[in-house]
Amino acid sequence: MNAWPSWLDGLRTQFNQRIEQDRMPHALLLGGAAGLGKRALLEWLVARLLCQLPEGEQACGTCHGCRLRRAGTHPDLVRVSREVNREGRQRTEIVVDQVRILRAQVTLSSQFGGWRITVLDPADRLNMAAANALLKTLEEPGGNTLLALVADQPWRLPPTLRSRCQAVNFALPDPQQALAWLQKQGIPDCATALAAAQGNPGRALALVGDGALARRDQVRRDLIALLCHEADVLETVGQWKQDEPQERLRFAAEWLAEQTCALAKGETGPLRIKRDIWTWSGLFEQANQAREALRGPLRPDLVLMDFLSLRVSTMEVRSVRVNRR
Ligand SMILES: [Zn+2]
């Protein structure tokens, strides 16, 4: 996120007061969907705590502490993330050895006599052994130490670990604030982008940035054309396969969910075709199944072919629902 998320101004002020009144917790869990500003707040907090001459809420940017932090060499700041393994691939988890090394570092005292900060990101990727090892660190916090966990999916952390941290939950900001922020970034059609991102401003920015918003609308038009038999399935499969198939399936699922909700409220919905609610919810389910299947060993064109045929009879859907009960 390039610009400061203005909807976090209040939270930043609260944290600043806590720092000034010496009421900072030893462990924080910053949790919530990507795009809501968790990491921006964290970086502000790290900068503010490590600065030796803060100016109000802001780090000065020029003192020794600030210079070391900006160079990435501050001895009192440790960052733990997923490492690259021997085969050169990024590990899917944060492993116990990383936490052991961390514990050794945390028990040292601060080199500058100020704060010692450890950042674990993404904390929802700690494996069980690593989470247990981390719990031990939390049992023996020293003065002026901060352990900051950042997680897009905080519920994935073990409850024992979560309960030891003070949770900061990042929710969707007020739409007006989100729109004002997007406008400042020079986004042309903010309202459309924000709606496409379901109210998440950071995600809206990302959608516009890599042309995903245009792809999302293309997916909607493809679904309509296929359902009206005005497009060729094979041709559409070819286009989807070449360009972000996983993302296109997610967009399809989102449109179908929106369509299902609209119909339930008696509205026309974004796909503007008459089908019953079972058809839309059945197609929604199939889009999600296709997303899963695409991660597996099946050929992508076959998975896409299966979904884009958009065959769902009311009877089939009903029988699936009955069987699952
Ligand atoms: Zn400074």
C-alpha 9 – ligand 1 centre gap (Å): 20
Q: Which of 37-41, 44-48, 246-250, 313-317 has the lowest mean pLDDT?
A: 313-317
C-alpha 92 – ligand 1 centre gap (Å): 35
Do 103 and 131 contact (CB within 8 A), yes or no? no
pLDDT band for 90, please (50, 70, 90 cuts): confident
pLDDT band for 141, please (50, 70, 90 cuts): low
Do 21 and 118 contact (CB within 8 A), yes or no? no
For the segment 308-323, what is each residue's pLDDT rounded down to a tens digit?
999 875 444 444 454 4
Domains of the chain are 6-171 (3.40.50.300), 210-324 (1.20.272)
Q: Residue 291: which residues within 8 A CB-CB, separation 6 or more?
A: 246, 249, 250, 253
Mean pLDDT of the chain: 90
For the segment 252-275, what is each residue's pLDDT rounded down to a tens digit?
999 999 999 999 999 999 999 999
C-alpha 38 – ligand 1 centre gap (Å): 22
The first and second tokens of residue 234, run together, are 């094979």
Q: HSE (CB half, 13 Å, CA atoms) of 19?
A: 23
C-alpha 84 – ligand 1 centre gap (Å): 32
**% pLDDT > 90, the chain:** 75
pLDDT of residue 313: 53
pLDDT of residue 136: 84
Average pLDDT over residues 38-46: 97
For the segment 102-136, what is each residue's pLDDT rounded down to a tens digit?
887 777 777 778 899 999 999 999 999 999 999 88
pLDDT of residue 325: 43
